[in-house]
Chain A
Amino acid sequence: MGSTSPATEDPGAVPTGTPARGPSASGSIWKDAGRQLIRNPVFIVCSLIVLVVVSWALFPTLWTDKGKLECDININRTPPSWFPGTPPPGYDTDLDGYPLGTTTLGCDMYSQLIWGARPSIVVAVVVTALTALIGTTLGLWAGYYGGRVDTVISRVTDIFLGLPFLLGALLFLALLKSQSIWAVILVLVVLGWTQMARIVRGTALSLRDQDFVEAARAMGATNHRIILRHILPNALAPIIVLCTIYIGSFIAAEATLTFLGVGLKPPEVSWGITIAQGQAFAVAGFPHLLVFPCTVLVVTVLSFILMGDALRDALDPKGR
């Protein structure tokens, strides 16, 4: 204790301290987080569910051999035989090959849910990625540089934050006169990035005054490097939590807009459309029209949120 070790000062000597593990072990926070995550059962279950839903979106034909629009109106609204309750008279419950019954238009509920995953997942993931990118970039700039940069970014954020979400989305989509998936994505990004920018700005603002940022500056780090390697990694936890909430809420937002008739439209298939079509009949003796798509929606949203929670815990080195 207290003494320096002259052994390491020999000129030309190989460093005496041989690394115990390879240099790869000194890598980034992500490797440690990964090790932590594979031991977390909640994360495993949730990520499996997310993987399944994502594979529905990517490769629907792996999961069903029925086509997207392969429907027979003659067998519409049929609940599956195992479903509790008796359907109104005149509806057959003994359909073969329809494990979840049929939808309002007589399509196979199971394949409709699989086909419907794609728009929901694409909207949610793309919108979340874009809002995270825009919000994080603007938030980091505003929070780190402060001054005029902050004023401009914050005022623009405030303006967009002032737009009521549903009204704004309805208005934009009505004006765009397009009901494609890209129109929905555009509208959700435009209205969605503000919260991310605000939270990242606040985090960056508090991190900027931390000693380790000053220390990094004293070590000669550039602004760019301080933002990317010192502020961003410490701001990741709130960003990730917000992203998972975003994914859930954007899946729901897509369903909401679709339900209100300004989002996606048939013949497109999505969970929102299935719910919109089913809700009229759900209380009229066909609860399965709502139960199945809503369950899929809720489980998916929940999985994303729990996954994000686990990820946040794993990324916090103090949690280990």
Chain B
Amino acid sequence: MSDSDILSAGPVPEPADSKAIASLHFDPTAPLLDVQELRVDFHTHEGVAHAVNGVSFTLEAGRTLGILGESGCGKSVTAQAIMGILDSPPARVVGGRVLLSGVDLLTLNEDDRRQVRANRIGMVFQDALSALNPVFKVGWQLGELFRKRLGYSRTQARHEAVRLLDLVGIPAAAQRVDDYPHQFSGGMRQRVMIAMALALDPDVIIADEPTTALDVTVQAQIMKLLADLQAERNMGLILITHDIGVVADVADDICVMYAGREVEKADVYSIYDKPAHPYTQALLESIPRVDMKGKQLASIQGLPPNLTQMPPGCAFHPRCRFARQRCRDDTPPLYTVSPGRLSACHFFQEVLDT
């Protein structure tokens, strides 16, 4: 990925960060983002909560990975661990590797790690109103990245801010650059947030529930914007959501998480066609559908397990309709269902056949 398109406007000073980043020896042939066996623990008063329990996935440039799961299943913690912005204590990364173009981010010192943020990995937060600093104008906040990270002058940074706001489809960007976050509507605010994540032209964007705070029509616009920008810039996009409908249109691959583990990984078509894990199946059944109008909506009984007291065996067995004795005794490994398709269920064949 080249840096030239974002830096093309105006005279370009030597990026202040380029040296520190260059020293990291990114390997362009390695997978863009390769997360291996990532584990994160939270040390709480009730004991150690295994929030992320050996998650692995690979993201290539230009692909979109949807991470699906209920609240508290470790989606956001995974994202924060990749970004390196976990609050520790109480959180601690206890194992695994996060390889960005071959460089293990978890072994970097804090300064190098900081350089990677925004430069290489951008993040879009769920609630743009609280993720933007309320006392500064959006243009100033956007420009801050260019001034501090690339050493731009105020005028140049402002030009860049206007250009970015324009890029994410904010009408009259040149005027709106002087507005405060609260003066924007919810959808426009999320666009500002996306502009901010895009600012330094990262290779990977992690969007943590980017549309949860928005209404349905705006949701569609924001998802389209993200997908367009991603295709245009050939970025890798990680889309974290609990809304199985949101990822269906844009994701290439889906990773379903439950209780800190991935339970199913597949490309988007096969997973929506025939889920290979009871949890995925139950999630799909709980989407309201027009042709099921008037009937009781299927839901998953019970609650996700307490992360400090995980049930033995498969974590999903207390809520699973396929559960039997083996599920209580053996933790299922990730079985290969078909090439590129994994499911952590002993009886995936049975699930596929229903």
Which residues of chain A have a CB within 8 Å of any CB of chain B? Answer: 1-5, 8-21, 23, 25-29, 147, 210-212, 214-222, 225, 229-230, 233-234, 236, 315, 317-318
Contact = CB atoms under 8 A, between A and B. Distances in A.
Given A4-B232, A19-B159, A234-B133, A215 B125 contact: yes
- Chief secondary structure at chain B's binding surface: helix
B118 A2 contact: no
B9 interface: yes
Given A26-B178, A317-B135, A214 B85 contact: yes
A216 B130 CA distance: 12
B118 A4 contact: no
B127 A211 contact: yes
B125 A211 contact: yes
B12 to A, nearest CB: 10
A17 B182 contact: no
Contact of A20 (B89, B131, B143, B175): B175
25 contacts: A1-B169, A3-B225, A4-B167, A4-B168, A5-B167, A5-B169, A8-B9, A9-B5, A13-B9, A14-B10, A16-B163, A20-B174, A21-B178, A23-B154, A23-B158, A26-B143, A29-B136, A211-B127, A211-B130, A212-B131, A217-B85, A218-B117, A221-B148, A229-B144, A234-B134
A212 B125 CA distance: 9
Contacts of A218: 83, 85, 117-118, 122-123, 125
A241 to B, nearest CB: 16
Contacts of A222: 114
Nearest to B129: A211
Contacts of A2: 169, 220-221, 224-225
B131 A215 contact: yes
A12 B177 CA distance: 22
Contacts of A210: 130
B132 A25 contact: no
B131 A15 contact: no
Contacts, number: 144
A16 B174 CA distance: 9
B130, B193, B229 pick with most chain A CB within 10 angstroms: B130
A317 B182 contact: yes
Contact of B115 (A18, A217, A220): A220
B180 A317 contact: yes
Contact of A19 (B169, B177, B196): B177
A317 B141 CA distance: 15
Given A1-B169, A233-B136, A17 B131 contact: no
B225 A26 contact: no
A125 B135 CA distance: 27
Nearest to A12: B8
Contacts of B178: 20-21, 25-26
A29 B178 CA distance: 11
Contacts of A315: 135
A43 B133 CA distance: 27
Contacts of B66: none
Contacts of A211: 125-127, 130-131
Given A1-B221, A17-B159, A20-B178, A220 B118 contact: yes
Contacts of A317: 134-135, 180, 182
Contact of B169 (A3, A29, A219): A3
A234 B122 CA distance: 24
